[in-house]
Structure 1
């Protein structure tokens, strides 16, 4: 269809010269054009406004087990509640494959009980609870202590949900993205980079993105989130009937080629139990990605760095040519005078340490200020945000060459208050 633009200065003249029908047509076309322009602007604004995405929780160093169902009777509601908490602690310890221990010993390692849902009756307590264990005390029995181990490169998480015939990521707040945002990833060797989906992120991180194969497009997106590659956990929900069971098919995918690693299915009794099923699915997804990391599959795709490799090769060729030119144009060498032999002792390279830095992030400007301060400190090799919580406490992972005391002194000299606890720093203004 051909579109003709009419200059506004000639519009009045055209209307005056036209007949009655032509006048009406011209006026209607003008109003239609203005309406379409306003509609297009409204649609563009609607794509980036509204409630979209859920910021991920700050990673805790503790060991947490969620989704424990208890149903306990007692002489009173309060007594049943206390007994239910003890039962939940014991069940959580068994889920962690901990050794056989007394109830008192397990209780001494518990730092908190998270109430997901509870009902207290005169003599009965029904609840879904989470139990948080102190890592320093429980880590020696169930693993997950401060020891080293294999760590993945930063992986961008793109949680895709198929439900009701549509697929979504950050277009609206989905239960699947919420489950990933609430996942405590500190105990996982996989370095998950979880976007919030706010602002323009919902325009570039779409459900169609995994279908793209352009390495340049992927490289631009990964650079925005300081990630090396992408993991795509896919959830497909099918409701058997309204208010009935919900069947979920989950597929762990990875990389710019959207490679499927493994699939599994879970079933929730109804929509009320759906969040519990999705939280369980995230834990199983993390186990799949862990296994892939141990097998050497979860490594960044080398083709994502093809542009940098080509640039390095071209730079190397240029240096070689310049050296050859210098040799050809250099004057003939003269016999050098004998010089004393100097033996230099090798200088040991500074040891690289990984430090966790927690900082209060009321807004995006605070995040930028903290990152700039840490990255500008002497000895800092790398600083990446691993958990972003606008309005709360964010976490970054920092690689430092040498002693962390230099990093602490540099931050304090720039006006930051620093509290240190081992390899964990907490900074504030």
Structure 2
């Protein structure tokens, strides 16, 4: 775990200390999600989101950060060696950024904090791996002033970890998810959307999610996180023996089809060095995604962002290809009068907003219900507002003719329909 020290105030600020406020916030959000799931699916679903899981990501800073500075300094006391090592780390970090030659006092004045990745303090010696954060307002005039940077669209991050024969994302607090949560992404051209994994997020974003291909499902998931597409960094850890080396294979994937970009291997000599290896792996994976962005590979998938008009056009083209040439349209494609429905035309009916509840044992049930409702003549819009796989989901429908006409049309399709005011409940 990294420790951030602001040398201006001489105060320790462990990233772990932020977990108090973040943990309380996560507990409140988790409680709200648990209450909602209790109404939808009962105590069985509550048990699935109980427990300590999810790590809140660090807030991105616009300051300039340099990590991985190794120092080994001796002095009269351990405290003197520590301060001397910090000055050396600041000089080394400034040199890595390509800054001009300056007195150490001038460099120190631009440093906002020092990040302790790992340290050992002896009576006369200090050994550590440090990071240095420079205030962008002060240091930006000398380094990092390369003009505007083109950033990617918001990309949802699903960090999948294979360890001990088990796949996981947010089911427990994993080292791979922690590495992504602690990654300072402000200097990257990738706009990462990093969920905390608390509450109901652990039910939606699982290790099996990257294997789904349903565009309707992906669109609903991405809309919940205000993301345009998805990236899947995968880490596979293999331990040679207890306490021994840990071999890591890291793969960068992207998109709803889980497309492969690149992979590499790294090895940690022991469990103690595993967090450092994962931090370096995150930086390398970020480099892969940045390279893919430069090559134009990380454009949002059009099949996710396509509107209903594009989908209707695709269905029409498919229908034309499947129908025999010159054959009259089948009767099923022609809207037929619905028994019990009003005789006036759809256009003449009053447009109303109807809430539709439907059982969703799996993702296929979501697609089937949406397709059935959108196929009703007079429906101008249908979108899910609540997803509960294994329970009851909710969609909001804009339909001409109101709730009665929509109910009659769904009954004609073979659905079991019950109505209560402007709310319908449908099932097969």
TM-score by length of 2: 0.60
- The residue that corresponds to 1:114 in the other structure is 115
Shift of 1:291: 1.1
Structure-2 residue corresponding to 1:148: 148
Q: Using a 3 Å threshold, how does the CA distance of structure 1 residues 244 and 91 change in structure 2: closer, same or farther?
A: farther
Distance 1:160 1:302 in 2: 24
The 5 Å alignment of 1:13-412 reads 44-143=45-144, 147-310=147-310
* Alignment partners' CA distance in 2, 1:259 and 1:141: 39
Distance 2:118 2:290 in 1: 30
CA distance in 2 between partners of 1:152 and 1:58 (Å): 18
Residues 152 and 120 of structure 1, relative CA distance in 2, 3 Å threshold: same
Following superposition, which runs of at least 4 residues in structure 1 exceed 6 angstroms of deviation?
A: 311-314
Please list the CA deviations of residues 359-397 of structure 1 after superposition, one character each: whole Å capped at 9, or x if unmatched.
xxxxxxxxxxxxxxxxxxxxxxxxxxxxxxxxxxxxxxx
**Structure of larger gyration radius:** 1
Instruction: Indicate if the aligned counterparts of 1:255 and 1:301 stay in contact, CA closer than 8 A.
Output: yes
* Structure 2 unaligned regions, length at least 5: 1-40, 315-428
User: 1:185 is paired with a residue of what secondary structure?
Assistant: coil
- 1:43-79: per-residue Cα shift (whole Å, max 9, x none)? 5332111111111111111112234332211122222
* Cα distance in 1, alignment partners of residues 212 and 64 from structure 2: 37
Tell me the CA shift for residue 294 of structure 1: 1.2
| CA distance 1:286–1:139, shift in 2 (3 Å) | farther
Secondary structure (helix, strand or coil) at the match of 2:49 reads coil
SS at 2:222 equivalent: helix
Contact between 1:135 and 1:144, CA under 8 Å: does it hold in 2? no
SS at match of 1:80: helix
CA offset digits 1:239-288 (Å, max 9, x no partner): 12111111111111110111111111122121111111111111111111
Are the counterparts in 1 of residues 228 and 305 from structure 2 also a CA contact under 8 Å?
Answer: no
- How many residues end up aligned between the 2 structures? 274
Deviation at 1:120, TM superposition (A): 2.4
Distance 1:222 1:115 in 2: 35
Cα distance in 2 between the residues matched to 1:240 and 1:311: 50
Give the unaligned 5+ runs of structure 1.
1-39, 315-429
